[in-house]
Structure 1
Amino acid sequence: MAKVIVMSSVSVDGFMEGPERSLAWHMVDDELHTHFNDVLRGAGAFMSGRVGYELEVEVWPEADADPEAPAPVADFARMWREKPKYVFSRTLAEAGWNTTVVREVDPEHIRGLKELHGDLYLGGTDLTGAFLRQGLVDELRLYVHPVLVGGGRRLFLDEGGLRSLTLAEHHIFGNGVALLRYTFPSDEK
């Protein structure tokens, strides 16, 4: 059964971005990036908000054209271009790179996308919140970086109260980043 999966890097203190949208604290080395690629290769589609999508468009369309690009970066660039993408935005008129603009989070539409594509990988604070509030998230894949950022943008804002999670997997990478993969008990979703 297809799932909606939130996949995000976070600091120990819960930030997905540092001050001024900084991601400089992310500890993505070749091992971790290769893992991301291996996971995302099975994705049916990527989903993001407008800001996340615009940041992706600045990097991924031509990242593999750089002869200095590490192999995992070049691999992901090719994957990113090929995968269907959905950007949730009320202001974006159109999007390129195999991307469809969606105006709102509609549970029926999301169920249809799961049937069409399979697993949907979701990123972004506001979009994650909207999906969580509607009970549309099946799994959380949190990559906890061993840093305290101290400010910025938190991954989880106001997501609708207390919910239980089941730890389905954990792994520590060589750089100290910890994968914590959680699922929602069926009665909690």
Structure 2
Amino acid sequence: MKTVLWATLTANGNYAQSGPENPPKKEALNDFAAQAKAAGNFIVGRKTFEGMQDPSRVSQDEQAGDNGPFAGMDIVVMSRSIQAIPGLTIVRSPQEALDYLQGKGYQTAVISGGADIHNSFLEQDLVDEVIFNVAPVFEGKGLNLLIDAENYRYRNAQLLDCKPLGGGVVQLRYSLER
């Protein structure tokens, strides 16, 4: 199964932190919806999933669940604290998430939402491809995506595509050696 990590970065290389003063760029959100729809699924962390449900942060059309662009998709939430949510699959680890989706016959898994979940997949060498949407904003304090925080490993990447999405957002797509 091909695994695709999808993330938005700031122009100065931080993992983008969205909020009321810096909402996610519409072009990046539309791209995520298209990537998830093409795969039929996405894996997300608990905090990001809860943010996707918060009507004060996202419009009704952007919420995950029965309505909007994610209707009918397999949404896998990775959490150690949530026990069950009707209609969702809750897993405890990256490998459990991939095993679940592979068992359902998916060819591609999209990993989204949260530096912690992204770093856990990267650290376990479970990512085949990354899609970075670079937003036209600089952020003073941000999080980083890491493959190995302690040993400073390097992993070669090959640029597959580079394209503007509009609104100043540029998408970079890389394959990762595994």
Judge same fold: TM > 0.5, yes or no. yes
| Partner Cα separation in structure 1 for residue 49 and residue 166 of structure 2 | 29
The match for 1:88 among 70, 78, 94 is 78
Structure 1 alignment gaps of length 5 or more:
65-72
The match for 1:179 among 171, 175, 178 is 171
What is the identity, as a one-letter code, of the residue corresponding to 1:140?
A: V
The match for 1:55 among 51, 54, 68 is 51
Q: Determine if the alignment matches structure 1 residue 142 to structure 2 residue 126.
A: no
Say if 1:145 and 1:45 are closer, same or farther in 2 by CA, change over 3 A.
same
Aligned to 2:141: 151
The size of the alignment, in residue pairs, is 171
| Partner Cα separation in structure 2 for residue 49 and residue 133 of structure 1 | 16
TM-score by length of 2: 0.80
| Partner Cα separation in structure 2 for residue 146 and residue 13 of structure 1 | 9
Deviation at 1:176, TM superposition (A): 1.5
| Partner Cα separation in structure 1 for residue 115 and residue 79 of structure 2 | 13
TM-score by length of 1: 0.76
Aligned to 2:13: 14
The match for 1:120 among 106, 109, 116 is 109
The answer on whether the counterparts of 1:10 and 1:155 sit within 8 Å (CA) in structure 2 is no
Dislocated runs of 4+, deviation >6 Å? none
What is the identity, as a one-letter code, of the residue corresponding to 1:12?
A: A
Q: Give aligned-pair identity as a percent.
A: 25
Say if 1:47 and 1:23 are closer, same or farther in 2 by CA, change over 3 A.
farther
Task: Give the CA RMSD over aligned residues.
Answer: 2.9
| Partner Cα separation in structure 2 for residue 159 and residue 23 of structure 1 | 31
| Partner Cα separation in structure 2 for residue 62 and residue 12 of structure 1 | 25
| Partner Cα separation in structure 2 for residue 61 and residue 84 of structure 1 | 20
Q: Determine if the alignment matches structure 1 residue 166 to structure 2 residue 158.
A: yes
3-state DSSP class of the match of 1:15? coil
Aligned to 2:36: 40
Say if 1:34 and 1:120 are closer, same or farther in 2 by CA, change over 3 A.
same
Say if 1:35 and 1:102 are closer, same or farther in 2 by CA, change over 3 A.
closer
Deviation at 1:44, TM superposition (A): 2.6
Deviation at 1:33, TM superposition (A): 4.3
| Partner Cα separation in structure 2 for residue 128 and residue 35 of structure 1 | 18
Deviation at 1:141, TM superposition (A): 0.4
The structure whose residues are more often helix, as a share, is: 1
Say if 1:27 and 1:85 are closer, same or farther in 2 by CA, change over 3 A.
closer
